[in-house]
Amino acid sequence: MTDFFDRASELETAFREQAIARHCRTIEQTGYSHCEDCGDPIAPARRAALPGCTRCVICQQLAEG
Ligand SMILES: [Zn+2]
C-alpha cells in the first residue's frame, strides 16, 4: 500500500505546482506584475500581500494622495 500513498502525494504535488503556475501566468497576462501607472515591476511580496493590486507602492501613495 506504500506505493499507493507515494503516488497520491506525487499527484497532489503535481496538482499544486500546476495550480501555482497557472496562477502566476494569469497575473502576468493581466498585467498585475507591473505597475499600471509607471510600468515598474511590482514586488512579489506586495502582490502576495495585496492580491489584485495594480500599482507599485509609490504610485499607490500618489493615487491615495
Ligand atoms: Zn508605479
Residue written as cell 499600471?
Answer: 36
Ion ligand 1: residue ranges with CB closer than 5 A: 35, 37-38, 40, 56, 59
Share of the chain above pLDDT 90, in %: 17
Q: How far is the CA of 37 from the centre of ligand 1 (A)?
A: 5
Structure confidence by residue, pLDDT tens digits, 14-45: 888 887 677 666 555 554 688 989 999 988 88
- Its pTM stands at 0.49
Give the residue with greater pLDDT, 31 vs 51. 51
Residues 6+ apart with CB under 8 A from 38: 56, 58, 59
Q: Please list the alpha-helical segments (H only) found in the chain.
A: 2-30, 44-49, 57-64
Phi first, then psi, for residue 53 (nearest 5°) are -70, 140
CB 53 within 8 A of CB 45: no
